């Protein structure tokens, strides 16, 4: 996990804190333990604590939390580690009832651990189900942010956007503010908090309140490592998530879905010869799990590139590595040979990594050159450029008739709506009718949820579509979508140069209030800030409601520029893409007719 500490701010401390919390929690329970995991947590917790680490804490077995009888294990403690969700409580209640009926409960202790916070509603549910008393203890594991990489931390909460903007349920803001407080406790108080969007001020106010409740004199005793916390509310830019990402990492995510840094790919491409790369573990023959992060040098290099630049990079690297192998012929003396041998393991790793990514790139390319992809991309780019956005788009209509995946259709409709500043009622009506008739009435609710999203006004004036983008050696962030620069990242870019004050008329066109606040910091800590002024400033960009890999790539691009006024690190509620974004808004209604 050394790669986590490679960044401007060391995110491995966040991981260590989580581990420490986990240790002190598990040490409370004497004796052997079996953990029943909420399935959705295994991924995120896996980022901070691997199984071998838990084994050292007397965890002998791990299971997935599900209804019914739980497997019998000879342990002292049964630990349920879950998110605070009602269905999961019902699951636990069911488990405990079975245990009691079978008389297992006498010699075991049952502990419940909430991630990341106790929940009164859930506890009430357990009481209603009559199992509250069976639990020996209820605790919380206060892990809110998980480090994904040296420059990205995520809360891995997929439902935030829907909760906030479809259900208007602001409960998650409290957890978010708490998470940011933890970040502050490790890296110092953010001197500036700025942002744009509906809930930014809420977060700032909650943080201020929490800081006051802890006591201002209990501030973390360190000079702030971040200069600014910039909160970008997803509603500021609803276009970017639905635009197809064209970076290497973005495309892998679009096609195969990266979850908690891991992607599952079809196995046949990676037969014995081609296998390698970073900790590949084959689940079975058909699926191969690959961990993707900057610990792998080649991937760190490739991930942010536009896909059209990936091929050349791979072949250049391949040439370089074979040149390195050739050096063995030039090694004449023993010491030269020795040097060469010393380099071998690293070369071997590079070679494996090259093979891995060549295979992945081939997989991705198969899709990118397909007619279906090209056609949809063309439609997408036409819409982005504002061509015929006021009419029913025949391509979209055809996609519906062909019953292409619904999310693909919805993405394009959202995009059209966005670039047309909302659809004309007639057009919207037509699309709705077509969709319901083609895909079935059960999608009515999903369509309603989509309408609940405030469609943004997007202007050509914002310079978001760029014509001649250099995909290979980019000069602007628009390379991540080939023609389109993510509005969210543009906002971040403008904040540093020329400053939001200069573009206030443009900002007024974007929904949601602007927040520009400073947090008071005691004098002795402040003095450090001034002494470290020589160094580049660091901004933590927090995406409220999720961000895409392409946005992360764009921010990395901004950080790497020579004249970059500040470095950017990324925090987000979750990482999303068009498909996930729309899926979280859709609602499944199942037929229960008998």
Partner 1 sequence: MALLTADWNPLGREAYYRKFEVYSMGWIDQVNLQDLKVTVAPSGGPIAVVRDDTKLTPVQTSGKPIIFIFSPSGELKSTIKWSGGKIVEIDWSSSEELLCIQDDGSVSVYDIFGNYQNSFQMGQEAREMKIIDARTFPSSTGTGLVVLTTNFRFFVVNNIKDPRIRRFPDIPGVNIAPSCWAAIHGDDRQTRVIVAKEKDIYLLDYSEQHVAQKTPEISHHHLSIIAMAVSPCCKLVALLTDAGVIWIGSFDFRRKFCEHDAQCMLPAVQLVWCGSGAVVLNLGSVLLVLSPNRDNFTLILDSTSHVCPEVDGLRIITNSSHEFLQKVPLPNQEIFRIGSMSPGAILVEASREFQKRSHRAEEYIRLVKNQLEQAVIQCIQAAGNEWQPSVQKMLLRAAQLGKSFLFDKVDSELFVGMCQTLRILNAVRNYKIALPLTFQQYEQLGKTGLLNRLILRRQYSIAIQICQYLQMSEADGIPRVLTEWACYKIKHGLGKLDAEQLASEISAKLGTGSKVSYSSIALKAIECKQEKLAIRLLDFEHRASEQIPLLLKLGQEPQALAKAVESGDPNLIYYVLVVMKETYSADKFYMTIRHYPSVNALYAKLCRTIQMGSLEQIYEQEDNFNAQAILSVKDSYRAQKLENRSAMLTTAVKQYRQAKAEIAASLTEDQLKLLKTQSGYESKFGCPVIDVSLNDTLKLLMRRRDIKETEEMVKKFKVPERRLWWLKVTTFAEIGDWAELEKLSRLKKSPIGYEPFVDVCLQYNNVTEAQRYLPKVEEHLSIKYYVKAKLYTEAAQIAFQRRDTEALHYVQSRCSSNRDAVDMINSLIAKLANPSESQNKR
Contact 488/551 with Cβ under 8 angstroms?
yes
Half-sphere exposure of 333 (CA within 13 A, CB side): 3
Give yes or no for residue 448 binding partner 1 (CB under 8 A): yes
Instruction: Give the interface segment with partner 1, choosing from 11-19, 161-169, 256-264, 503-511 (CB under 8 A).
Output: 161-169
> Which segments within 46-120 are labelled E, that is strand?
59-64, 77-82, 109-115
Our finding on whether 214 is near partner 1 (CB under 8 A) is: yes
Q: Which is nearer to partner 1, 195 or 276 (CB)?
A: 195
Binding range to partner 1, per CB under 8 A, among 28-36, 123-131, 345-353, 476-484: 123-131
Give the Cβ contact number of residue 381 at 10 Å.
18
Cβ closest to partner 1, residue 58 vs residue 140: 140
Per-residue DSSP letter, 306 = B
Total site size for partner 1, rule CB under 8 A: 53
In Å, what is the CA distance from 202 to each residue of 60, 178, 226, 371? 43, 12, 21, 46
Residue 171 lies near partner 1 (rule: CB under 8 A): yes
- Least gap, CB of 237 to partner 1 (angstroms): 23
Q: Kindly state whether residue 397 participates in binding partner 1, applying the rule CB under 8 A.
A: yes
- Bridge partner residues of 538 (DSSP): 567
Comparing CB distances to partner 1, the nearer of 169 and 362 is 169
Find the binder of partner 1 among 52, 64, 168, 531 (CB under 8 A). 168
- Among 337, 387, 401, 509, indicate the residue that binds partner 1 (CB under 8 A): 401
For 11-170, strand residue ranges (E) read 33-37, 59-64, 77-82, 109-115, 135-141, 146-149, 152-154
229/295 with CB nearer partner 1: 229
Strand 59-64 relative to strand 281-282, pairing? unpaired
Q: Which is nearer to partner 1, 119 or 238 (CB)?
A: 119
Q: What is the rounded (10 degree) CA torsion for 400, 401, 402, 405?
A: 20
Tell me if 372 contacts partner 1 by CB under 8 A. Answer: no
Give Dmax over CA atoms of the chain in angstroms: 83
Choice from 74, 121, 337, 341 touching partner 1 (CB under 8 A): 121
Helices (H), 289-333: 297-302, 307-330
Please report how close the Cβ of residue 215 comes to partner 1 at its closest, in angstroms: 4
Contact window for partner 1 (CB under 8 A) among 116-124, 146-154, 355-363, 535-543:
116-124
Q: Which C-beta is closer to partner 1: that of 397 or that of 476?
A: 397
Which value, in Å, is the radius of gyration of the alpha carbons in the chain? 26
Q: Give least dist CB 165 to partner 1, A.
A: 11
Instruction: Compute the distance between CA of residue 415 and CA of residue 420 in angstroms, rounded to an integer.
Output: 8
Tell me the closest approach of the beta carbon of residue 84 to partner 1, in angstroms.
Answer: 9
Find the shortest distance in angstroms from Cβ 441 to partner 1: 4
Residue from 402, 460, 497, 560 in contact with partner 1 (CB under 8 A): 402
Cβ 247 to partner 1, closest distance in Å?
24
Rule CB under 8 A: say whether 377 interacts with partner 1: no
Nearer to partner 1, 461 or 594 (CB): 594
Binding to partner 1 in span 193-212, by CB under 8 A: 202, 206, 209, 212
**Contact, 537 vs 140, CB < 8 A?**
no
By CB under 8 A, tell whether 455 contacts partner 1: no
Residues 125-144 that bind partner 1 (CB under 8 A): 125, 128
Site for partner 1, residues 77 to 96, rule: CB under 8 A: 86
- Judged by CB under 8 A, which of 105, 159, 442, 532 binds partner 1? 442
Q: Which residue in the set 439, 455, 494, 500 belongs to the binding site for partner 1 (CB under 8 A)?
A: 439
Which residues on neighbouring strands pair with residue 232, listed in sequence order? 196, 543
**Distance, CA of 468 to CA of 393 (rounded, Å):** 25
- For partner 1, which is the closer residue by CB, 73 or 444? 444
Write each residue from 572 to 591 as x if it is in contact with partner 1 (CB under 8 A), else as -, in one continuous string.
-----------------xxx
Site for partner 1 in 294-353 (CB under 8 A): none
Question: Treating both helix axes as pointing N-terminal to C-terminal, what angle do 307-330 and 248-256 enclose, rounded to 10 degrees?
Answer: 120
Alpha helices by DSSP H, 305-391 = 307-330, 334-368, 371-384
Residue 424 as a binder of partner 1 (CB under 8 A): the answer is no
| 281-282: strand order across its sheet | 258-259, 262-266, 287-291, 281-282
Compute the CA torsion angle 575, 230, 22, 257 (nearest 10 deg): 10
Strands 192-196 and 566-572: unpaired
Q: ω into residue 398 within 30 of 0, thus cis? A: no
Q: Binding partner 1 by CB under 8 A: which of 367, 377, 436, 457?
A: 436
CB nearer partner 1, residue 345 or residue 441: 441
120 binds partner 1 (CB under 8 A): yes
Distance CA 417, CA 242 (A): 12
Q: Alpha-carbon distance 75 to 80, whole Å?
A: 14
**Is the CB of 128 or the CB of 366 nearer to partner 1?**
128
Which three-class secondary structure state does DSSP give residue 236?
helix
- Rounded Cα gap, residues 453 and 52, in angstroms: 44
Window contacting partner 1 (CB under 8 A); options: 65-73, 118-126, 140-148, 360-368 = 118-126
- 560: CB partners within 8 A, 6+ apart: none
Q: Interacting stretch for partner 1, rule CB under 8 A, among 171-179, 272-280, 514-522, 570-578?
A: 171-179
Backbone angles phi, psi at 111, to 5 degrees: -125, 140
Q: Which of 269, 343, 432, 459 binds partner 1 (CB under 8 A)?
A: 432
The least distance separating partner 1 from the CB of residue 537, rounded to whole angstroms, comes to 29
Residue 326 is encoded by which pair of tokens?
Answer: 């050739």
Under the rule (CB under 8 A), what is the footprint of partner 1?
86, 117-121, 124-125, 128, 167-171, 173-174, 177, 202, 206, 209, 212-216, 371, 394, 397-398, 401-403, 428-429, 432-434, 436-442, 444-445, 448, 589-594
């Amino acid at each position: 996990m050394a790669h986590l500490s490679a960044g401007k701010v060391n995110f491995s401390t966040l991981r260590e804190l989580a581990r420490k919390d986990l240790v002190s929690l598990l040490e409370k329970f004497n004796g052997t333990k079996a953990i029943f995991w909420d399935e959705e947590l295994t991924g995120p917790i896996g980022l901070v604590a691997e199984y071998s680490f838990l084994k050292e804490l007397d965890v002998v077995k791990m299971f997935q939390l599900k209804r019914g009888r739980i497997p019998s294990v000879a342990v002292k403690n049964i630990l349920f580690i879950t998110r605070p969700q009602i269905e999961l409580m019902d699951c636990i209640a069911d488990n405990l009832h079975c245990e009691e009926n079978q008389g297992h409960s006498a010699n075991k202790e049952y502990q419940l651990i909430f991630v990341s916070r106790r929940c009164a509603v859930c506890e009430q549910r357990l009481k209603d189900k009559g199992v509250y008393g069976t639990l020996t203890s209820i605790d919380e594991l206060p892990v809110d942010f998980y480090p994904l990489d040296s420059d990205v931390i995520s809360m891995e909460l997929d439902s935030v956007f829907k909760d906030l903007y479809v259900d208007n349920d602001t409960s998650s803001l409290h957890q978010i503010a708490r998470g940011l407080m933890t970040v502050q406790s490790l890296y110092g108080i953010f001197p500036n908090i700025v942002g744009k969007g509906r809930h930014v001020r809420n977060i700032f106010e909650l943080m201020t309140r929490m800081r006051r409740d802890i006591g201002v004199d209990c501030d973390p005793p360190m000079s702030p490592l971040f200069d600014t916390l910039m909160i970008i509310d997803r509603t500021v830019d609803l276009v970017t998530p639905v635009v197809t990402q064209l970076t290497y990492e973005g495309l892998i995510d679009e096609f195969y879905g990266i979850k908690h840094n891991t992607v599952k790919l079809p196995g046949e491409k990676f037969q014995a010869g081609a296998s390698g790369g970073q900790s590949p573990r084959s689940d079975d023959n058909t699926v191969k799990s690959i961990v993707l992060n900057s610990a792998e040098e080649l991937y760190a290099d490739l991930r942010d590139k536009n896909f059209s630049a990936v091929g050349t990079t791979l072949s250049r690297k391949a040439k370089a590595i074979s040149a390195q192998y050739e050096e063995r012929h030039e090694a004449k003396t023993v010491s030269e040979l020795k040097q060469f041998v010393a380099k071998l393991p690293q070369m071997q790793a590079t070679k494996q990594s090259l093979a891995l990514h060549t295979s992945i790139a081939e997989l991705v390319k198969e899709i990118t050159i397909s007619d279906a992809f090209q056609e949809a991309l063309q439609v997408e780019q036409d819409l982005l450029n504002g061509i015929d956005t006021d009419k029913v788009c025949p391509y979209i209509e055809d996609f519906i008739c062909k019953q292409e995946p619904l999310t693909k259709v919805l993405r394009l409709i959202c995009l059209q709506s966005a670039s047309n500043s909302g659809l004309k009622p007639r057009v919207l009506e037509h699309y709705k009718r077509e969709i319901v008739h083609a895909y079935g009435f059960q999608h009515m609710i999903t369509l309603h949820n989509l309408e609940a999203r405030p469609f943004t006004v997007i202007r050509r004036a914002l310079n978001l579509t760029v014509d001649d983008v250099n995909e290979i050696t980019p000069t602007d962030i628009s390379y991540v979508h080939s023609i389109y620069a993510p509005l969210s990242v543009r906002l971040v870019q403008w904040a540093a140069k020329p400053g939001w004050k200069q573009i206030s008329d443009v900002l007024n066109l974007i929904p949601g209030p602007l927040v520009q606040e400073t947090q008071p910091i005691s004098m002795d800590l402040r003095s450090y800030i001034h002494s470290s002024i020589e160094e580049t400033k660091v901004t933590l960009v927090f995406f409220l409601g999720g961000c895409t890999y392409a946005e992360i790539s764009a921010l990395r691009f901004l950080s790497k520029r020579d004249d970059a006024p500040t470095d950017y690190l990324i925090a987000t509620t979750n990482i999303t893409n068009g498909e996930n974004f729309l899926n979280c808004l859709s609602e499944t209604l199942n037929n229960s007719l008998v």
